[in-house]
Amino acid sequence: MSTALRDGDLDPRELTAHYLDRIAAIDGHVGAFVEVTADAARARAARLAADGTTPAARPSLWGLPLGDKDLVARAGVPTRYGSRARRDFVPQRSDELAAALDDAGAVSLGKTATPEFGLTGYTETSFTPPTRDPWDPRCGAGGSSGGAAAAVAAGLLPVAPGSDGGGSIRIPAATVGIVGLKPSRGRMPIGSGIDSLAGLAVTGPLARTVADAAFLADALRMLRPHPFALAAPHAVDLLPVALAPAPGLRVGVTTTSPWAEDEHIVLDPQARRAVVVAAEMLAARRHGVDDLAWEPRGYAAMFRTIWRASAARLPLGEAELDLVEPITAWLVREGRALSATRLLDALAAAAAFERETIAAFAHVDAVLTPALAQTPRPVGWFDGVDAERNFAQQVQYAPYSSFVNVAGLPAIVVPVTRDDTGHPVSVQLIGRPGGEAALVALAAELEDARGPLPHPPLW
């Protein structure tokens, strides 16, 4: 699609109109968008069509419709961060990501839904309609990039950028049966993770195929010169890797979660089966596949402290805390009550966990885990009143996500099987620092072995 746009075989006005029509027809049942900027998108597409640049001079995302996650400010467009406390905020300046996507030629169709300030792994608030799984609209789409994932799964966008601070790309991607890539800390110039608390939050792509995710990852990596002296090693282009046969790689398999010390983690049989099937697929492609022994310790207390501290930094006064979700207010108040010593101890523990995890995974090219522990959760399943129970529910749903952020490692989720209802079931592949190429190669082989997926009912 992007090549056809740049070569002039596809008109950005026609493509923009196509996706806007789909949003108008379908999104009322999905809730992927919280703001659709149809007039601005049509005007933007028309300007691109009339700009007279040659195909060779057109940037990587020229004419491609995208959405801005509602944590990314765009000048003149309501940016609510999923929160009633920001319901009237209209920024005068765009965030760096929105401006860079414009420079790369993208066409923003509006704002995709996110939970309040991106704090939870599901996209439901009391402020906006829930974002639903296009495969089963009785269930939520996961979060925090739930709107972006649901939009891609329902065919409302071709691809979408998201952000991932504890699973926020991979959780919704696995929930709605698409591909989600969380890059290594330091790979992306915008949303590198290096400048976030504990290095957790990074920018990455969501797409229906591995090749499309690789394409958008490459484009995101080239949006700006890298602003840090440190960048992820081996930052090669990923799209050629997705299109070529993979060399023989070593894959370790584990269903261990570092949360199991403190939470009761029950792995759904369908999730376990997906791991077994994926391991068999990779072994059949002549990769070395073996069980991985891994016994992480002391993770839960460290992550809970860091997550609360990250919420403490939200610009919310005491009166505004009466407007936000109970889980948000709880995290903010708990975070602001932390001592500096406790936070510094947690950051030191996170650094030690990173070193130990990288060492434990160093003898393999990738680690295969479940993507989620449970099937997609019904809308309203997460407790809206008891914040501590809510947090535990999120861990029980997605216990394989946040530790990858703490370790700064890349990870990709890809659907490999389907359950008895036809819903895709995904696995996660975790790589070495800067090892996205191995993940993309393996995920592309899983995708090929699986075969094409049908469209979801909400398509």
CB crowding 239-248: b at 16 or more within 10 Å, else e? bebbeeebee
Please, which pLDDT band fits residue 3 given cuts at 50, 70 and 90? Answer: confident
Q: Does 69 qualify as catalytic in the annotation?
A: yes
Q: Is 168 considered catalytic here?
A: yes
Which tokens belong to 200? 């957790």
Confidence of residue 359 (pLDDT cuts 50, 70, 90): very high
pLDDT at 440 over 90: yes
The pLDDT tens digits for 307-358 are 999 999 999 999 999 999 999 999 999 999 999 999 999 999 999 999 999 9
Q: Which pLDDT value is given to residue 232? A: 75
pLDDT at 93 over 70: yes
To the query of whether residue 111 is one of the catalytic residues in this protein, the response is: no
Return the pLDDT at 53: 86
Tell me the pLDDT of the chain averaged across its residues.
96
User: Long-range contacts for 276-285 (Cβ within 8 Å, ≥24 apart)?
Assistant: 277/416, 277/417, 278/368, 278/416, 278/427, 278/446, 279/251, 279/253, 279/368, 281/416, 281/445, 281/446, 281/449, 281/450, 282/251, 282/368, 282/442, 282/445, 282/446, 284/449, 285/246, 285/445, 285/449
Question: What is the pLDDT at residue 229?
Answer: 79
* pLDDT at 427 > cutoff 90: yes
| Residue 171 reports pLDDT greater than 80 | yes
The pLDDT, as a whole number, for residue 320 is 96
* Residue 265 pLDDT > 70: yes
Indicate the range of 3-12, 110-119, 154-163, 226-235 predicted with least confidence: 226-235
Q: In the structure encoding, which two tokens stand for residue 39, read together?
A: 């007039």
Q: Is the pLDDT of residue 27 over 70?
A: yes
pLDDT exceeds 80 at position 87: yes
* 2, 145, 168, 257: the active-site residue: 168
Report how far residue 387's alpha carbon sits from residue 114's, in angstroms, rounded to the nearest whole number.
18
Q: Which residues pair with 182 in a beta bridge?
A: 411
Q: What is the mean pLDDT of residues 122-136?
A: 96
The band of 233, judged by pLDDT with boundaries at 50, 70 and 90, is low
Q: What integer pLDDT is reported at residue 131 of this predicted model?
A: 98
Of 144, 192, 257, 401, the catalytic one is 144
Sort strands 288-291 and 366-370 into parallel, antiparallel or unpaired.
unpaired
Percentage of residues in the chain with pLDDT exceeding 90?
Answer: 93
Q: What is the pLDDT of residues 272-289, one digit of tens each?
A: 999 999 999 999 999 999
For the stretch 367-385, pLDDT in tens is 999 999 999 999 999 999 9
Q: What are the structural domains of the chain?
A: 2-450 (3.90.1300.10)
pLDDT over 90 at 246, yes or no: no
- With 90 as the cut, is the pLDDT of residue 9 above it? no
Higher per-residue pLDDT: 378 or 229: 378
Q: Looking at residues 53-62, what average pLDDT do you find?
A: 92
The Cα angle at residue 396 between residues 393 and 400, in degrees rounded to 5: 135
